Amino acid sequence: MEKYIPDMYQKSIYAIDYHKLKNCGIRFLLFDLDNTLSSVGENKPTAKLKKFIEELKQEFEILIFSNSPKKRVMGFAEELNINAVYFACKPLRRKFDFVLQENKLQENEVAIIGDQILTDVVGGNKVGITTILVNPISTKDGIWTKWNRHKEEKIIKKLRARGLFTKGKYYD
Ligand SMILES: [Mg+2]
């Protein structure tokens, strides 16, 4: 069950202790897009998100790392003025590895922040980077995510039964 457990769990991207990440040596952040940075229905970043990313850029290198298609992902990347990987195929490790190699990063310098255990957390744990789970922004999901959520709910139940993870119990 280890692979399903995030290193940190917070309510949203805004609740994460970025100073702590920085102090742990993390300098590169991979952000999931859908339901992490933005809700599925939105096509543009909110003013709040734009400002937040601008501030975060002072401290970290930031990349959108999303399974969504190019058009959606690059739209956000352009608006936020950051790089992005689309069709990331999380939880497969291929594109994680590519990002690490391309940017000459060690595993302990990178964190992934996302709302799904089965893609963001499992993928990140596979590669050995820091994994940070956040609650999804909305309950509206894309079609593939809906299917994953169903599986995720079962996993969360098992984790809770074993005292390994409880939804709503935040930690870092
Ligand atoms: Mg997501």
The Å distance, Cα 140 to ligand 1 centre, comes to 11
Between the CA of 36 and the centroid of ligand 1 the distance, in Å, is 5
Predicted pLDDT of residue 121: 98
CA of 80 to the centre of ligand 1 (A): 17
Is this structure's pTM higher than 0.85? yes
Q: Domain 2-161: which topology?
A: Rossmann fold (3.40.50)
Say what the pLDDT of residue 131 is: 98
pLDDT tens digits for range 125-162? 999 999 999 999 988 877 778 888 899 999 999 999 99
Q: Are 126 and 119 in contact (CB under 8 A)?
A: no
Return the domain boundaries, the chain.
Answer: 2-161
Ligand 1 centre distance from Cα of residue 104 (Å): 26
8 DSSP assignment: E
50 CA to centre of ligand 1 in angstroms: 18
Residue type, 51: K
